[in-house]
Amino acid sequence: MMKSPIPDYLRRVLEKARPFDSGEPASYIDVLAKADTSRSAVAVATVDGSVYSAGDDDVEFSIQSISKPFVYALAIQDQGLDRVLEKVGVEPSGDAFNRLSLEAGTNRPMNPMINAGAVAAHALVVSIDATMEQRVDRIVEALSRLAGRQLHVDEAVYEAELKDANRNIGIAYMLKAAGMITCDPQEAVRGYIRQCSINVNVRDLAMMAATLGNGGLHPVSGDRIMPQESVRQVLSVMTTCGMYNSSGDWIASVGIPAKSGVSGGIIGALPGQLGLAVFSPRLDERGNSVRGVAMCKQLSRDMGFHMMDMSQIAGASVRSWTATVAGGSKQPNACQEDVVVFELRGAVRFAGAERLTRAITAEMDKIRASCESSSGTGVQPHVCAVLFSFRNTYSLNDVARRLIHENIRRLANMTNVVVIDPSGVLKLPVNQALDQGLGFQQPRVFKTQAEARHYIGGIGCRVVSNEDSI
């Protein structure tokens, strides 16, 4: 039986990290201090919902600070980004996680990844008038949806954290004084601690991170759990502030937006690709899991996960188009009957659409030159039809779509434009003006090659069928 090599790889990652046995579990509460330090786990979830894991992948631990990015996303969703930005900044603080770090002038906590900002973000969930229970219910429910299973608050952790909460209560009162929270500070901290006490395992976390990596759509259910705007904001803040005062080093060396928690977990989210999670209780002096960091570095290095890595990103939208003059063996004087074909492949963003644009102008100029040389200047139209095939176009982003619309609009004023777009990526209205473009000729849009061929034949253009044809 054929087996995936990925779990084997993750097991190797885990084994390689095992010798890293420095550090100690968090000691400020007993329930963390007595964590089994032999535990380690790693999980990777792809944006289309596969989860791979190795090690103690069913061991549960409290989510702690890893809840911060998700609750920040909820705050944005519930209040809008602008209102959240009034209460929590986005700049790296250069300080430790438990420093107050309010911005001079605005009094905002520097960012939502430090405790002060996380408490402020927590207090924005649901509404500023919500009760603690309402906020916690909302958060547990949202995190459960992200994880794909019902999560629960670990009451023992909650009780222990509550006893050691003076620093956070202090922060909350100062936030209240600064006008950054409106609810009762004690309630804000109790809610925040419940949020931090939700139990998860690495598979949960990997899936949660993968939702960030998937732009807010749940990898398995496909549900939109977070608006794209929130995800973008959250990933940006994880990039600059996620690893506290070593964020610069983390981005340079690991290159994955990430967040760590005091239980020993770390998540990373690689946009468009995956979420990952690691776990091991021993922490370094900055409060990050020693083995967890080692595993993340190895994963990044082995898997080419650095977000600034060209091998990673290059070519993303570079799936090239192919323009084929029907018939292959074009005759110089055959201008009038030619059909020029442009095919766009892959996931197309600006760069891809720009390439198509360039190809169109180049090809049309070439044809015009060729036709003019054979037929004299000013001959119009140069070609019988222009055919665009989007059969192999996986996706278009907005700017790519607008650029292609504009190309079609311009061409449609010169010649017949025929479009094959089986999945409707182009969102081209069949009987409606494009863009602001009133009064220009409509392109004809078909779902299948056969329909397009039939139409082209009907208007008297030549199409030669071969492997590279439409």
* Options 25, 185, 281, 292; binder of a copy of itself; rule CB under 8 A: 185
* Options 29, 88, 171, 412; binder of a copy of itself; rule CB under 8 A: 171
Q: At CA 312, angle to CA 311 and CA 316, rounded to 5?
A: 100
Of 224, 228, 198, 196, the residue nearest 215 (C-alpha): 228
Q: Which of residues 373-392 bind a copy of itself (CB under 8 A)?
A: 392
Cα distance between residue 153 and residue 172, in whole Å = 21
Q: Which of residues 187-206 bind a copy of itself (CB under 8 A)?
A: none
Strands 444-446 and 393-396: unpaired
- Interaction between residue 428 and a copy of itself (CB under 8 A): no
* Options 162, 414, 434, 464; binder of a copy of itself; rule CB under 8 A: 414
- Interaction between residue 134 and a copy of itself (CB under 8 A): no
Beta bridge partners of 41: 55, 279
- Interaction between residue 278 and a copy of itself (CB under 8 A): no
Tokens of 404: 């292609």
The distance from CA 413 to its chain's CA centroid, rounded to whole angstroms, is 38
SS3 198: strand
* Options 82, 105, 129, 166; binder of a copy of itself; rule CB under 8 A: 166
Min dist. Cβ of residue 56 to a copy of itself (A): 23
- With contact defined as beta carbons under 8 Å apart, do 364 and 382 qualify? yes
The nearer residue to a copy of itself, 227 or 327, going by C-beta atoms, is 227
Taking residues 222 to 261 in sequence order and writing x for each that binds a copy of itself by CB under 8 A, - otherwise, the string is: ------x--xxx-xxx-xxx---xxxxx-xx--x-x----
* Options 24, 220, 297, 394; binder of a copy of itself; rule CB under 8 A: 394
The nearer residue to a copy of itself, 139 or 403, going by C-beta atoms, is 403
The nearer residue to a copy of itself, 172 or 200, going by C-beta atoms, is 172
Beta bridge partners of 393: 346
Number of residues counted as binding a copy of itself (CB under 8 A): 103
Min dist. Cβ of residue 44 to a copy of itself (A): 8
- Interaction between residue 265 and a copy of itself (CB under 8 A): no
Min dist. Cβ of residue 140 to a copy of itself (A): 26
Q: Which of residues 106-125 bind a copy of itself (CB under 8 A)?
A: 111
Residue 52: exposure state from Cβ atoms within 10 A (0-12, 13-18, ≥19):
buried
* Options 40, 62, 93, 469; binder of a copy of itself; rule CB under 8 A: 93
- With contact defined as beta carbons under 8 Å apart, do 34 and 75 qualify? no
The nearer residue to a copy of itself, 351 or 459, going by C-beta atoms, is 351
Tell me which stretch binds a copy of itself (CB under 8 A): 131-139, 146-154, 282-290, 397-405.
Answer: 397-405
Per the omega criterion (within 30 degrees of 0), is the bond before 5 cis? no
* Chain position carrying tokens 């766009």: 344
Taking residues 25 to 64 in sequence order and writing x for each that binds a copy of itself by CB under 8 A, - otherwise, the string is: ---------------------xxx-x--------------
Residue 140: exposure state from Cβ atoms within 10 A (0-12, 13-18, ≥19):
middle
Q: For residue 210, what are the contacts with CB-CB under 8 A and spacing of at least 6?
A: 45, 46, 47, 49, 219, 269, 274, 275
